[in-house]
Amino acid sequence: MTRLLRAWVELWDRREPATAQALVRIVVGMCVLGDLVQVWHLGIVDGLWAPPPEGMGYGASGKPWSVEWFGASAGVAMWWTGVAASLAFTLGAATRVAGVALVLASAQLGELLPDGDRGIDAVLRVVTLVLVFSSCQARWSIDAVVWRALGRPYPALVPAWPRLLLFAQVVWIYFSGGHNKTEPEWTPVGGFAALANAISDPHFARFSADWVPSVFPLPAIATAVTMAFEWGAPLLLLVVWFEATADRPGRLRRLSNRLHLRWIWIATGVLFHLGIALFMRLGIFPWGMLALYPVLMRADELVRAEAWLVARLP
């Protein structure tokens, strides 16, 4: 038991470069900022979050604190707060303060319009809160530039537990997503017709459904792969452990490492979300999920990728 506890503490007390955490901070901030700017571009800020009869913000009747403070203009005030906070969070300016403000603004917009609070909004709030307690500002941030100028630079290696926690969060999101797909269309009973139905639904589909029958059975195969991908998400933890203990014996370990199963899982997820972005209109969902993928990579892989990119820049 002592050995297990020591290994548990050592796991969460590891140090690594802040590259993955910084990447997630930047892309998550960009996703939220882009989403809010799109609402402004469509001219529906008031229409979504103002109280009736001016808008759809019927949640204002429950009196969120933003309504108490800002009255009927609470939605606009929270929108502006979200824009400013997401921009600051992306740039890494007063990162922790910006992260807290971003979470509060997002939660209040969800309180004002409950039907507009999507699953990806809740996911990004959780991720932002984890990053608030991380060292995501140690790289590629205004904070890092300021502290370096003051002679107090961030350390080269930071606690790895935020990345590990987000890694576990990604695994749980996919696994629980698979469990929630209970309709027969996601199974052989319904002919794996779920994705074909989704990309044919005029409410979600980006294109006309006329082309879908011509590519049968590809949508059914994609549905089956999606279910295997999500239900098999917990196996990713085993695959990562096999990589970390590559020097130990075992046929399954050698096979997993030889096939690079982690990279196969990552590539499947990337194709899955790019397919959603291409064929369906689900807002920032695919981009918000892809924003978390840097945590699936090892620190040394990101360091090598950065060195490769820098060597090829002018």
pLDDT tens digits, residue range 237-259? Answer: 999 999 988 999 999 999 999 99
Q: End-to-end CA distance of the chain, in Å?
A: 54
* CA-based nearest residue to 275, from 228, 202, 210, 221: 221
The pLDDT of 219-225, averaged and rounded, is 93
Between CA 295 and CA 310 the distance in angstroms is 21
pLDDT in tens, 123-150: 999 999 999 999 999 999 999 999 999 9
Choose one of 159, 179, 214: the last residue of a domain: 159
pLDDT of 69 reads: 79
Say whether both 140 and 211 belong to one domain. Answer: no
**Residues 150 and 23 both lie in one domain:** yes
Residue 75 maps to a domain? yes
Among the ranges given (4-13, 105-114, 163-172), the one the predictor scored with the smallest mean pLDDT = 4-13
Please state, in angstroms and rounded to a whole number, the distance separating the CA atoms of residues 25 and 102.
12
Does one domain contain both 263 and 192? yes
Sign of CA dihedral 47, 51, 57, 58: negative
- In this structure, what is the dihedral angle of CA atoms 28, 311, 298, 229, given to the nearest 10 degrees? 60
Q: How many CA atoms are closer than 13 Å to the CA of 169, on its beta-carbon side? A: 23
Residue 308 inside a domain? The answer is no
Q: Give the separation between CA 285 and CA 270, rounded to whole angstroms.
A: 13
Distance between CA atoms of 135 and 199, rounded to whole angstroms? 40
Q: Which two tokens stand for residue 192?
A: 């794996």
Gyration radius of the chain over CA positions: 22
Asked whether residue 119 carries a pLDDT value surpassing 90, the answer given is: yes
Cβ(46)–Cβ(39) under 8 Å? no
Residue 249 lies in a domain: yes
Q: Give the 3-state secondary structure of residue 203.
A: coil
Same-domain status, 20 and 155? yes
Residue 263: partners with Cβ closer than 8 Å, 6 or more residues away: none
Instruction: Report the alpha-carbon distance of residue 218 to residue 239 in Å, rounded.
Output: 28
Q: What is the pLDDT of residue 242?
A: 93
Co-location of 181 and 151 in the same domain: no
- What is the rounded CA–CA span in Å between residue 60 and residue 24? 32
Weakest-pLDDT range from 50-59, 88-97, 157-166, 196-205? 50-59
Are 24 and 146 in the same domain? yes
- Tell me: pLDDT of 297 over 80: yes
Containing H/E element for 159?
A: strand 158-159
Q: Which domain holds residue 171?
A: 160-282
Structural domain total, the chain = 2
Of 144, 159, 174, the position where a domain reaches its end is: 159
- Residue pair 46/76 in contact (Cβ under 8 Å)? The answer is yes
Q: Which residue has the tokens 């800020």?
A: 45
- DSSP H helices, the chain, are 2-12, 19-41, 45-49, 65-70, 74-91, 95-112, 119-132, 142-149, 161-180, 194-198, 218-231, 235-244, 251-259, 261-279, 285-290, 299-312
Q: What whole-number distance in Å separates Cα of residue 134 and Cα of residue 151?
A: 21
Q: For strand 158-159 and strand 15-16, is the pairing parallel, antiparallel, or unpaired?
A: antiparallel
